[in-house]
Amino acid sequence: MSRWEPNTRERLLDAALDLFAERGYDSVTVAEIAERAGLTKRTFFRHFTDKREVLFAGQEVLSRIFAEAIAEAPSPASPVEAVAAGLTAAAAAFGPQRRDRARQVQSVVAGHRDLRERELLKHATLTAAMAGALRARGVPDPTAGLAAEIGGLAFTTGFTRWVAPGNEREFTELVREALAELVAATAALG
């Protein structure tokens, strides 16, 4: 087995997505994913706790990107402007080369209740990272929490539009557009 080749996580994700497409998520084992990737089951578990986590790889990186970009936003930035900086920084990880893979992941997630629940946990974790970064900037609650929730909704809305069939617009554009729509909707609440 070619354990020492680079891009182990990517290879595992590719193998998992191929197998999920061929046989369905429930029918695929960790051992089969590792074998398809040319790796051992032990190597799989060095990178992921289970096959579900293959689909949610990178969450910790996204949380860090959000938090760092919010922290580094200019000091006079409003909470929404700081969140926009976080969204823009995170969107950089979603280049056009990742769109097909993201569509595959979304297809698998959409078909399984436990995966949709895990996706909600991911959303909550990203939102919490944004709220924490805003609080660290001195933004009080409930403003920090509300701005983070709006940022989380903008991220989810932008992502949903980005992976939609036929869409070719950039993720950054879509997430900024979603944030502007949500801020306008919030202002319209009165």
Cα(first)–Cα(last) distance of the chain, in Å? 62
Q: Please, is 23 exposed, middle or buried when counting C-beta atoms within 10 Å of its C-beta (0-12, 13-18, 19+)?
A: exposed
Cβ within 8 Å of residue 8, ≥6 positions away: 37, 39, 43, 47
* CATH number of the 59-188 domain: 1.10.357.10
C-alpha gyration radius of the chain: 18
> What is the predicted pLDDT for the residue at 57?
83
Q: Do domains 8-54 and 59-188 have the same CATH topology?
A: no
CATH homologous superfamily of domain 8-54?
Homeodomain-like (1.10.10.60)
Tell me: the pLDDT tens digits for 93-146? Answer: 898 888 999 999 999 999 999 999 999 999 999 999 999 999 999 999 999 999
Whole-structure pTM value: 0.90
Give me the mean pLDDT over the 37-58 stretch.
Answer: 93
d(CA 81, CA 94): 20
> Do the Cβ atoms of 89 and 69 come closer than 8 Å?
yes
